[in-house]
Amino acid sequence: MSRPALIKQRVNHLIKVPEVRVIGPDGEQLGILKTSEAIRQSRELGYDLVEVSSTSEPPVCRIMDFGKFKYEQSKKDHKIRQHQKSTQVKEIKLRPRTDIHDLETKVRRIREFLSEGNKTKITVMFRGREMANKEFGYQAMEKVVEELKECGTIESQPKMEGRNLYMIIAPKS
C-alpha cells in the first residue's frame, strides 16, 4: 500500500518571502512582519513558523508546534483511511467438466468471499476441443449462480473472452 503524498510545508528558514502575515499560537493576528522577525518571535515563544497559505499575498504563516501539527495531521489521515472500505475482486477458476463435488467446494469458497464483502470473478477455462462444447461452461455457470442466488447478485452476465468464459458476482447489500 502506498503512502499518501504529503504536502510539503515550509517551516522557519524555508520560508523565502520577505514579508508574511503572522497568526499567533492562540489564533490572534500579529499583522504583517518581516520573515526574519516572525521567525525570531516564534523561536522566543518556543514554536515554529509554519506557512499555512502560500497563495495569498503576503503568505499567511502561523506560530505553532510543527511536530505536534504533523502528528495530528497523520492521525486525521489515518482516521480517514480507516473508514474507507476497499473491495477486492477475488477469482475462482473452473473447467467445463468440473465434477459436482469440486463445484460445491468452489461455491463454498465463493460464499466466503461474498460474505467478506468481496466481488468474485468466476472463470471457466476451455482447452482444446472443449471450445466446441461451450454449453458445458454455461451450465457450470448456471449451477454456480443457482447455488449463490441467496448471497450474491450477478454484476456482469457470463461473457466469452478468448478461451475463457467469465462473470462477476457481487455480494447482496
pLDDT tens-place string over residues 51-71: 888 888 888 999 999 888 889
Residue 3 pLDDT grade (very low, low, confident, very high; cuts 50, 70, 90): low
8 A C-beta contact, residue 132 and residue 93? no
CA distances to 34, 62, 135, 136 from 127, in Å: 76, 68, 14, 12
Residue intervals in the chain for CATH 3.10.20.80: 12-80
Q: In the predicted model, what is the mean pLDDT of residues 117-146?
A: 92
- State the sign of the Cα–Cα–Cα–Cα dihedral 149, 155, 161, 164: negative
CA distances to 101, 141, 159 from 135, in Å: 20, 10, 12
Residue 170 pLDDT grade (very low, low, confident, very high; cuts 50, 70, 90): very high
Residues of the chain above pLDDT 90, percent: 50
Per the structure block, which three cell numbers stand in for 7? Answer: 504536502
Q: Which CATH architecture has domain 12-80?
A: Roll (3.10)
CATH 3.30.110.10 fits 89-171, yes or no: yes
Per the structure block, which three cell numbers stand in for 44? Answer: 522566543
8 A C-beta contact, residue 94 and residue 124? yes
> Mean of the per-residue pLDDT values for the chain?
88
Task: Tell me the per-residue pLDDT of 70-126, one tens digit each, with 9 for 90 and over.
Answer: 898 899 888 888 877 777 899 999 999 999 999 999 999 999 999 988 999 999 999
Q: In the predicted model, what is the mean pLDDT of residues 118-136?
A: 92
Residue 1 pLDDT grade (very low, low, confident, very high; cuts 50, 70, 90): very low
pTM beyond cutoff 0.85: no
